[in-house]
Every structure is written in structure tokens, then in C-alpha cells.
Chains A and B, each alone.
Chain A
Amino acid sequence: MTKLICIVCPKGCHLEVDDNLNVTGNSCKRGEVYGKNEVTNPTRTITSTVILKNSCYTRLPVKTSLPVPKSMIFDVMAEINKIEVSAPVSCGDILLKNVLSTGSDIVACKSIK
């Protein structure tokens, strides 16, 4: 049995998901889907910054292009922390492809001339 707060909408239903993936406490279908996913394969988009060279700014904001498994958050952060880029950079540039084989890339979130 797992207890969750649903984040699909602002209402914040208190969900309970049992071992057979039955969801209770939800008030809509989307809540049920969320509950099941959160228990079977929770994922998160990670946002952070990387070292930026050759610019008046010292950090460049980045994100994972797709959500990555929640259990890998700190492993992915360790990879992000190793990245160094040099300006110019364009928003959407891929800085690291397929990070830790998650299928997600680390991409730039800002253009720097």
C-alpha cells in the first residue's frame, strides 16, 4: 500500500495504491493513471545549471529533454555537474546525448551569444 498526493490538478486528492495497483481516493480518471505510474515507474524532469565559459555569465540553465526515472535523479545530476560549455549556445542545443542511457538528453535552456 502506497499513499500519494495526486498532482494532476490543484485539488490534491490523497490516493492509496495497493499491491494490485488498485487506486482509491481519486476523484477522476487522470488521478488513477497518475497513481499507477507513480508506483510502477515514477519519473521526473531534472533542471539545473552547467558551467559556462566564454561569457559574462558563469552558469547556463539546462534540463533533461524527457523525464528520467526518479531513482536516477542524483546519478543524472552527477553527469550534469561534469558538463562545461562555451558560448555561443542556442536554446535547445543538446549538451549531452542519452544521459546514462535513459533516452533523455541534457539540453540548453537559454541562448547565449
Chain B
Amino acid sequence: MEKNYEALYDIVVIGGGSAGLAAAISSYDSGIKNVLLLEKEAYLGGILNQCVHNGFGLHTFKEELTGPEYAERFIDELKKRDIEVRLEATVLEITKDKEIEYSDTLGYHKIKAKAIICACGCSERTRGQIRTPGDRCSGVMTAGLAQRYLNVEGYLVGKKVFILGSGDIGLIMARRMTLEGAKVLGVAELMPYSNGLNRNIVQCLNDFNIPLYLSHTVKRIIGKNRLEKIVICEVDDKLNFVPRTDKEFEVDTLLLSVGLIPYNPLLEKIGVAMHPKTRGPLVDSDYQTSIPGIFACGNGLHVHDLVDFVTNESKKVGECAAKYVLENGFDASKVLTVTPLNGIGYILPGKVYLKDEGTIKFNFRVNKPFKDVSIIAKLNGEEIKRTKKPYLLPAEMVEYILDMKLLKEGELTLEVSND
């Protein structure tokens, strides 16, 4: 057959953020010497570059680093290895046969890989997706975009700010904008509990006397050209507006911190099966998507709370992809499906290929806060493990490890029980 591509790689990693860096390094360290990393920006490190706050790396390095410092350690590691990197290289198409088309300033390229690791990150939920009504003025933007303007470009987007959503980026931005001279008038959270880490509530809001309005949302956006005013309103337990609870704030900026969604147009275009809850691809215990040889990791797979978790996961994915290339696939003879039950929002992976030895690590999120409960694992209806948990929060991903020896073919369920 005629070769119609420029080059053949063992592994191509798409995305040079925290996930892609770790996956490329671990692929290389697992014996693959022909690795290409494609990054759309002019620099590596991805979103870590704009996360100038600290709190990264407590698990990985046992110290508190800022985002750029954390990224630099991985970039330095990458450079020690003979891994090919292309910057300002945007992948536009991939195929089921693992052909990759990308564009950079040198040309339009078509290459082929034995395995692809998608580490494409996530996008922020936008005003359109949460359907906030009102005027279409400037001054309403996602918190991550404002963060990039502030920390990378050096511009403040406004001086009187309100934040919708208590996700961590919103909380971090409340502090950052306050430090740079803006006045943050409040944060509204739709749910009766915060979606951010306690530490951020304390150090980003309480330190600066910024009020957090739980069970509140933005009801109206007012402003002809630039934002002039917002109206927030309390919501009941069915998330309907409570009458006569309107509060007005005169602000020039509304930041949206209302969630992140894995960004996977490349995978969606070729029909990779997607997870309805995480909005990322469905993967098995080797982090392989529904198309053999295409893997996913990082926030493009599911949204993580800590970059350390992304690093761990991506390292594992690099090893799995390497194994796939070196051994021409996986032993998929014994399959266990995994189903979330009461209290659990989602579990990854949803499918496990059983092995005789070792352990399997699951990640899951609960769908509301719990106190003093147990997590019960059942194999084909029979309890195999019960773990007490003093608290479980939706904002915190839980790592849950099971011994392969406990498992056999069939269905595994996980649930939260009040005992």
C-alpha cells in the first residue's frame, strides 16, 4: 500500500499541558522512543501558565508550587528525553486508523501513529450553556478567560466584580482581582453548598470579606454596551426563583465559574463513545477509548480537582499506551462492567479488563455532600468491600482502589450508604 503520510510515530500525544507532558514522559520511560507531542500554543504547560496561585504539587512533590513552577518541572523533565515537540501545532483531524492531520507554520501535515493519547483539556461552561438571560453586553466572561487576561497579558477586566459559581477558578479569581485593585462584591452559588475547596473559600473569600450567596443565581444581566448591573435571586430546592429575594449589584464585570467540560471535538467527530456525565470519552481500565489505540487523560477525560491527580492518571495512561504499542493490544478476555448507584455521580473507568494480579484504581464523584457514610462495593450483587468515610463532597474526586483478586467477570456497583 502506498504510504500517504509524512511520518509514522509509535505514540502521538495531543496537548502539551499537565496531562500531555506527563503522558509523553511516561510513554518514553516505558520504552517508547518515537514519541511526538503536539501543542497548539507557542509554549508548553497549558493552563498551568495562567494559574499563578499556589497549591500545586503537594502530592507529587510534597511542596506547594505555583502553576508555572509545576509546569516548568515537567517541561524540564521532558527536555531531558528525546521526545519530539511541535509548538503552535493544532490537530484538526484524527481518524480511526490513527492518522493525524495538523497545521503549523511550516505546513499542513498528515502523520500516522500506532497509538494516540488525547490530552486536550477542557473548556469552561459559557453564559449560553447556563442560559443567563438579559442584555448582551461586554463584561460578562468566563473566569478562566479573565484569569488569562490578568495573569498572562497583564490586564484587569473590570473594577467592580461579581462572580457566578463557586468553582475554584472563580474563588481564585476573586482573590487575584482583589489583590490587583478590583472590588469583588460577592459570589453566588446555585447549589446550597460550595463547589470549591474549603481552603479557597477561606483564603480567597473570607480573608477579603467577600460574601458567598449559597442557593442564589444571576437572574438578569443589565447593560447596553458594558455591564452595568446584575440582579441575583434566591432559588428553592427545585432551583426555581424565590419571589421577593432579588438583590441588585452595580458591577462592570460578571465572571462565570460554572463548570468545566472536557473538550473533545476530535474524538466526537470520529464517533468515540462519550460518557453522559463526565462529557469525556468512555474509557476502560487501560484508559483506552471505544477506538482501540486511542487513549485519553487529564481534564479532557474528566475534570479533576487537583493537577497532581491529572499527573498520576496521565502517567498511567502513558504506560498503558506504551504497553499497547509494545504488545500489540491488551488481554480483553475477562471483562467487568462498573455501575454507579445511590449517591455516586460517575465512576471511571466504566469497564475493567481483569488481570490476575495488582490493583485497579477508580475515580468517582458523589452527587451531593455526605457525612459519616460508607462506600459499598458489590460484585454481581454481593458486597465485597465496605469503606467508612467521615465526609464526601461533590467538589472532591475520590480515589478508590480495589485488589484484582477480589474481582471476577460480571458487574461491579458502587454506592453510598448511610449504614
Q: Are A and B in contact, CB atoms below 8 Å, in the complex?
A: yes
A interface residues (Cβ-Cβ under 8 A, vs B): 4-7, 10-12, 27, 44-49, 51, 57-59, 61-63, 70, 73-74, 77, 91, 109-111
Chain A residues closer than 8 Å to B206, beta-carbon distance:
5
Task: Find out whether the CB atom of A11 lies under 8 angstroms from the CB atom of B391.
Answer: yes
Could you list some 27 contacts between A and B, CB below 8 A? A5-B198, A5-B202, A7-B198, A7-B199, A7-B202, A10-B393, A11-B391, A12-B391, A27-B390, A47-B52, A48-B52, A48-B180, A49-B52, A49-B150, A49-B151, A49-B154, A58-B154, A59-B152, A62-B52, A63-B52, A63-B54, A74-B179, A91-B68, A91-B72, A109-B68, A110-B68, A110-B69
Task: Find out whether the CB atom of A110 lies under 8 angstroms from the CB atom of B72.
Answer: yes
A35 nearest CB across to chain B (Å): 12
**Complex Cα spacing A111 to B44, Å:** 12
Can you add 7 more A-B contacts, CB < 8 Å, to A91-B72, A109-B66, A109-B69? A12-B391, A48-B179, A51-B154, A58-B153, A61-B67, A70-B207, A110-B69
Among B52, B201, B396, which residue has its beta carbon within 8 angstroms of that of A109? B52
Task: Find out whether the CB atom of A61 lies under 8 angstroms from the CB atom of B72.
Answer: no
A24 nearest CB across to chain B (Å): 18
Chain A residues closer than 8 Å to B153, beta-carbon distance:
58-59
Chain A residues closer than 8 Å to B393, beta-carbon distance:
10
**Complex Cα spacing A74 to B66, Å:** 20
Among A11, A59, A62, which residue has its beta carbon within 8 angstroms of that of B154? A59
Chain B residues closer than 8 Å to A57, beta-carbon distance:
152
Instruction: In the A-B complex, list the 5 residue pairs whose CB atoms are closest, starting with the nearest.
Output: A12-B198, A61-B52, A7-B199, A110-B68, A59-B154
- Binary contact track B44-72/A, C-beta < 8 Å → 1, others 0: 00000100111000000000101111001
Of B53, B150, B206, B393, most buried by chain A (CB within 10 Å of CB) is B53
Task: State which residues 363-417 of B face A: CB under 8 Å.
Answer: 390-391, 393, 395-396
Interface secondary structure of B, over-half rule: helix
Task: Find out whether the CB atom of A44 lies under 8 angstroms from the CB atom of B72.
Answer: no
B203 within 8 A of A: yes
B85 within 8 A of A: no
Task: Find out whether the CB atom of B66 lies under 8 angstroms from the CB atom of A61.
Answer: yes
Chain A residues closer than 8 Å to B391, beta-carbon distance:
10-12
Of A4, A61, A77, most buried by chain B (CB within 10 Å of CB) is A61
A57 nearest CB across to chain B (Å): 7
Query: How many residues in B have their beta carbons less than 8 Å from beta carbons of A?
Result: 31
Chain B residues closer than 8 Å to A58, beta-carbon distance:
153-154
**Complex Cα spacing A63 to B66, Å:** 8
**Complex Cα spacing A30 to B340, Å:** 34
B interface residues (Cβ-Cβ under 8 A, vs A): 49, 52-54, 64, 66-69, 72, 150-154, 176, 179-180, 197-199, 201-203, 206-207, 390-391, 393, 395-396
A102 nearest CB across to chain B (Å): 16
Given contacts A5-B201, A73-B179, A109-B68, contact A10 B396 (CB under 8 A): yes
B209 nearest CB across to chain A (Å): 13
**Complex Cα spacing A29 to B179, Å:** 32
Task: Find out whether the CB atom of A10 lies under 8 angstroms from the CB atom of B198.
Answer: yes
Chain A residues closer than 8 Å to B49, beta-carbon distance:
110
**Complex Cα spacing A62 to B53, Å:** 9
**Complex Cα spacing A77 to B182, Å:** 13
- Nearest neighbor of A45 in chain B, beta-carbon distance: B54
Chain A residues closer than 8 Å to B68, beta-carbon distance:
61, 91, 109-110
- Nearest neighbor of A42 in chain B, beta-carbon distance: B207
**Complex Cα spacing A47 to B391, Å:** 31
B64 nearest CB across to chain A (Å): 7
Task: Find out whether the CB atom of A47 lies under 8 angstroms from the CB atom of B396.
Answer: no
Task: Find out whether the CB atom of B66 lies under 8 angstroms from the CB atom of A10.
Answer: no
Task: Find out whether the CB atom of A10 lies under 8 angstroms from the CB atom of B197.
Answer: yes
Chain B residues closer than 8 Å to A5, beta-carbon distance:
198, 201-202, 206
B360 nearest CB across to chain A (Å): 24
A87 nearest CB across to chain B (Å): 14
**Complex Cα spacing A27 to B154, Å:** 42
- Nearest neighbor of B198 in chain A, beta-carbon distance: A12
Chain B residues closer than 8 Å to A47, beta-carbon distance:
52-54, 66
Task: Find out whether the CB atom of B151 lies under 8 angstroms from the CB atom of A61.
Answer: yes
Chain A residues closer than 8 Å to B197, beta-carbon distance:
10
Among B54, B72, B151, which residue has its beta carbon within 8 angstroms of that of A59? B151
- Nearest neighbor of A9 in chain B, beta-carbon distance: B198
**Complex Cα spacing A48 to B154, Å:** 10
Task: Find out whether the CB atom of B396 lies under 8 angstroms from the CB atom of A7.
Answer: no
A34 nearest CB across to chain B (Å): 10
- Nearest neighbor of B203 in chain A, beta-carbon distance: A44
**Complex Cα spacing A61 to B151, Å:** 7
- Nearest neighbor of B64 in chain A, beta-carbon distance: A45
